[in-house]
Amino acid sequence: MTPRTWAAVTLAGLVVLLVAVTLALVPWHRPPAPRSDQLAALDDLRPAEVTRGRAFHAELRPGTYGGMLVGLLVAVLLGLTPLGAKLVSLVGRPFGDNWIAQAVLGGLAVVLVADLLTLPFAAWRHAVVARYGLSTQGWGGWTVDLLKSYAVSAVIGAVALLGFYAVTRFAPRWWWAVGAVGAAGLVTLLSFVLPVLVEPIFNRFTPMEPGALRTELMALAETDGVPVKDVLVADASRRTRAVNAYVSGFGPTRRIVVYDTLLREAPPEEVASVVAHELGHAKDRDVLTGTLTGALGAAAAVVALYLLGSSGALLRAAGVGSVAEPTAFPLLVALVTLAGVLAAPAQAWVSRQVEARADRHAMVLTGDPAAFEAMQRRLSSVNLADPDPPRWVYLYSASHPSTVERMAAARAYARGAGG
């Protein structure tokens, strides 16, 4: 068989494996959240807070979806016309058209152009968040965080670009196979490394002071069979008033992280409910599931890019001779961006299923659906959630069940538990 035939067979196998893993590991049944309970929950929320949350998200949407649209248009313009290839060539010219310069510097230049053209929309969103009082950052702090994010992305991107185009150069017929393995490995590595190396760049973490709450959180983890090294407090208040908590790391690096804002805003039983939800993700190995599906998806994407990029029509439109050339990187970005836009509803749906399972886990672990519902009210109020968002927004991009869904699920659980 030719390399292209092998690639087609490999892609089919990866897709089948990805579907099988998803069917096996993603929860398909969500906790009950009757619509009547959702409407009753909506009526129980303070009307002023509901109005404020809806207004906040209505003002955010033009920046969110405008930025997405501009990013898509830039990717298509650079990738499906010769403009992107010319940009990569221009950046590499001072270095004698060296392939490393084209691959790394040219590739980063393509990403930077897209970032700069969508930057006004990011600034728009920050202005809205600040005006509503959710952000505690001025423009200086926001800019520093933005530059940190660019720097982290540039380092990861440079390594990935150099590795990818080194493979295409030295294994021109079978680069897709080596690249698929490398992409899967990179996704797996980053899932382990990022929590340990990147989180401290953006937040400071201090051990929670000994006391009743820390003891309770550690006891919850022990009861759940999820060993954790420590309970840390993140100084989230430096940039936001939003409340949150999460469980981070694997094995000996796993720890419970609680926002300092959550400790200020919520009573202990609600803090425990949030942490129990996050322990549910660790208990059900949701991060490992995400890593596995992400690795399979990345491998499949590399093979698909090889097959799609071999299309004469696409190569002619991009003004390149081969998808393996560094000048073809904008074409790859365009294809990945289009795929991401199309796949967003499916990814959001899977995420909602996983989050709903963690919600139920929290209620089972704490035995306190009332505290869970109270925490959802607080999250909606403090984090300025739209408790019952427009259906199209929910279906396309909502990563969590809505506030009223979560409150309704708590009420259904309480009834089922004889509460």
3-state SS track over 114-182: HHHHHHHHHHHHHHHHHHCCCECCCHHHHHHHHHHHHHHHHHHHHHHHHHHHHHHHHCCCCHHHHHHHH
Alpha carbons 341 and 348: distance in angstroms, whole number = 11
Burial class (CB in 10 A: 0-12, 13-18, 19+), 154: middle
Residue 202: per-residue pLDDT: 87
Alpha carbons 205 and 196: distance in angstroms, whole number = 11
Instruction: Check pLDDT > 90 for residue 195.
Output: no
* Buried/exposed 388-407: b ≥16 CB within 10 Å, e otherwise: bbeeebbeebbebbbbbbbb
Residue 298: per-residue pLDDT: 94
pTM for the predicted model, two decimal places:
0.91
Alpha carbons 330 and 285: distance in angstroms, whole number = 35
Instruction: Check pLDDT > 80 for residue 224.
Output: yes
- Which range has the worst mean pLDDT, 113-117, 304-308, 334-338? 304-308
- Which range has the worst mean pLDDT, 43-47, 168-172, 189-193, 210-214? 189-193
State the fold for domain 204-284.
Zincin-like (3.30.2010)
In this prediction, residue 417 has a pLDDT band, given cuts at 50, 70 and 90, of low
Token pair 């820390």 in the structure block, residue: 214
Instruction: Check pLDDT > 80 for residue 418.
Output: no
Share of the chain above pLDDT 90, in %: 85
Pairing of strands 205-207, 231-234: antiparallel
* Domain residue extents for the chain: 3-202+285-416, 204-284
Pairing of strands 255-259, 245-248: antiparallel
